[in-house]
Amino acid sequence: MSRRRLALAAVALLAGCGDSDVATRREALGADPTLAARLAVADARHGARLFRQCAACHTIGVGAGDRDGPNLRGAMGAPVAGVSARFGYTAALRAHGGRWTDEAMDDWLADPAAVAPGTAMRFRGVRDPLDRADLIAYLYQQRVGAR
């Protein structure tokens, strides 16, 4: 077998070891999946990989400090602007109020500036609805007291 064919075979095998189920999950959801349907098939492992882009500004480990954004350990179910007692949240986010529910986090991840105009978070958002569900599933795994 030529080196090129061997390399292509290796790539094909590796493609099956990770995000290959993303296409399958998308197909199963159909054209306009609800948040509940997306969460039902969400993959926290894929969410952990997606969280790497968040890690530029956020930590998520037990006892980890804040960066440009707060540590997100325990975010799901926590008060908006209340995940970290040490972080200086913007007035826009404090005024938003509420808790980080599935719906609130999905909206935030889609477009933070639309949810809380004036927020200091400069992230444009995660366009893909299934990626947002995967991130939410990962955040649920990172609850306070989770191992």
Domain boundaries, the chain: 20-141
Kindly report, residue by residue over 23-61, the tens digit of the pLDDT: 888 888 887 799 999 999 999 999 999 999 999 999 999
Tell me the two tokens of residue 38: 């997306």
The C-alpha atoms of residue 108 and residue 80 are separated, in whole angstroms, by: 11
Residue 39: other Cβ atoms inside 10 A:
18
14 vs 18, residue with greater confidence: 18
Q: According to the model, what pLDDT value does residue 146 have?
A: 60
Q: Closest Cα partner for 68 from 97, 88, 83, 50?
A: 88
- The confidence score (pLDDT) of residue 119 equals 92
Please indicate, yes or no, whether the overall pTM of this predicted structure exceeds 0.75: yes
> Which tens digit of pLDDT belongs to each residue from 57-107?
999 999 899 999 999 999 999 999 999 999 999 999 999 999 999 999 999
Residue 14 — very low, low, confident or very high, per pLDDT cuts 50/70/90?
A: very low
Residue 118 has pLDDT above 80, yes or no: yes
Indicate whether 4 pLDDT > 50. Answer: no
Superfamily (CATH H level) for 20-141: Cytochrome c-like domain (1.10.760.10)
From the number of C-beta atoms within 10 Å of its C-beta (0-12, 13-18, 19+), residue 42 rates as: buried
The pLDDT assigned to 23 comes to 87
Bigger pLDDT: 147 vs 31:
31
* In the block, residue with structure tokens 């008060």: 79
pLDDT above 60 for 10? no
Q: Which residue has the higher pLDDT, 132 or 30?
A: 132
